[in-house]
Amino acid sequence: MYDKLMEIYDKLFEHFGPRHWWPADTSFEMIVGAILTQNVSWRSAAAAIDNLKREGILSIEGILSCDPVSLAALVRPARYHNQKAKKLQSFCYVVAEEFRGDLDSFLSLEMEVLRKKLLSIYGIGPETADCIILYAAEKPIFVVDAYTRRIFSRLGFFPEKISYDQMQRFFMSHLPRDTALYNEYHAQIDALGNQTCLKTRPRCGECPVAGHCYAIKKFTQ
């Protein structure tokens, strides 16, 4: 299974090239982006981050010092702005109160402890938590999402209704615990799902892993 997964990875990498993901200048910016991009495109999240930068509050202290109404207005491009403002302040409050504002100390927690802590924070679910662990804390956990489910069910690896935890266990049991590999593999999967293996009318003729696909006949007949 390792060889097959790596063959797919190599074909994706050759097709898309290195993705340089997650796009952020700091770990904190990455975390803010992970929260803001929930249920929206990255472009929308990036617009909200730009607003926070312009106001000079892209920091734990800055977000906590901003009143919720003003913060919600700044993150409006990312939609669900009232909820996301609350999520950002909830995360920042935990780091400020329990880790004296030291984000590095927070991120240095042992991986399972960090994941449990993240999942206890309002608005952070498994995918967001795992993105933070992989891309900000740089610990080896495989991030899966709707693109992963769509692509690898079409490739015949598992059923479309598989759970998040089951998908994650599949990859982590068949690939080495390698942060750099997990980082790039997730980015490649998202590139394929976003650009080629679309939910409807996938661009099968452009797909670098079409030769592995069990569902291609469904979309090309």
Positions of E strands within the chain: none
Residue whose tokens read 């730009």: 50
Residue 207's nearest CA partner among 161, 155, 171 is 155
Identity of residue 218: K
* pLDDT of the residue at 221: 66
Sign for the pseudo-dihedral over CA of 172, 175, 181, 187: negative
Identity of residue 125: G
Over range 166-177, report the average pLDDT. 98
Global pTM value: 0.95
Last residue of a domain, one of 112, 136, 160: 136
Here the CATH number for the domain that contains residue 98 is 1.10.340.30
* pLDDT of the residue at 219: 81
Residue 27's nearest CA partner among 140, 136, 107 is 136
pLDDT averaged over the chain?
Answer: 96
CA 83/CA 75 separation, integer angstroms: 10
Do 80 and 60 belong to one domain?
A: yes
Per-residue pLDDT tens for 46-98?
A: 999 999 999 999 999 999 999 999 999 999 999 999 999 999 999 999 999 99
Do 125 and 161 belong to one domain?
A: no
State which residues form the domain around 185: 2-20+143-220
Q: Which two tokens stand for residue 125?
A: 């679910």
* pLDDT of the residue at 106: 98
